[in-house]
Amino acid sequence: MPLSQVPIAYIDLRFSVHATEDPDKVLEAVKRILPADYFDKIEFQRDNLEGHFGNPIILFETRIKAKEIIKGFIDNLSSNLSELDKDALLKEIDLHVENGSLYLRLDKQSAFQGELKLCSADPIRVHIRFRRKRAEDIVQICRELGMLP
């Protein structure tokens, strides 16, 4: 799909680093889900938070609006997400699509090893905002982009 036709307005990434985790390793994991050519152009906002028991948590967030980075991210996601995860995502699509957005949770540990896997606990949260709002349109676009079977 040509850059001018990318039907995505932006992608938000959000993840936390707990006291037991190395921030550099978590950033390395996130770097592996992003297009390598553009990682240095992505700036993360960093907030220091406190957990329920007083433990330090660092929250990282960014919004990607550049079409070439969006396309690179989607291409990477489409080619590296397993068919099993794509099938599972399609079966549960109603849980992931809401108001023109697709919400995904990617496993930090797998990302560090260079694999993209869906997960539910302590994820890298991905919010993909589409230019169209209807769930049917989003499913069709995701199929065309290779994110769904």
Q: At 142, is the pLDDT very low, low, confident or very high (cuts 50, 70, 90)?
A: very high
pLDDT in tens, 87-136: 999 999 999 999 999 999 999 999 989 899 999 998 999 999 999 889 99
Whole-angstrom distance, CA of residue 100 vs CA of residue 119: 22
pTM: 0.93
**Quick one: pLDDT at residue 133?**
87
**Dihedral sign from CA coordinates of 143, 71, 14, 107:** positive
Q: Map tokens 């969006």 to a residue.
A: 70
Backbone φ, ψ for residue 20 (5° rounding): -85, 0
Residue 140 pLDDT grade (very low, low, confident, very high; cuts 50, 70, 90): very high
pLDDT in tens, 73-98: 999 999 999 999 999 999 999 999 99
Residue 31 host element (H or E): helix 23-31
SS3 for 42-91 is CCCEEEEEECCCCCEEEEEEEEECCHHHHHHHHHHHHHHECHHHHHHHHH
Q: Going from the N-terminus, what domains does the chain have, and what CATH number goes with each?
A: 8-145 (3.30.1440.10)
How many CB atoms are located within 10 Å of the residue 134 CB? Answer: 11
Kind and range of the H or E run holding 123: strand 123-130
The token pair that represents 34 in the structure block: 């992003």
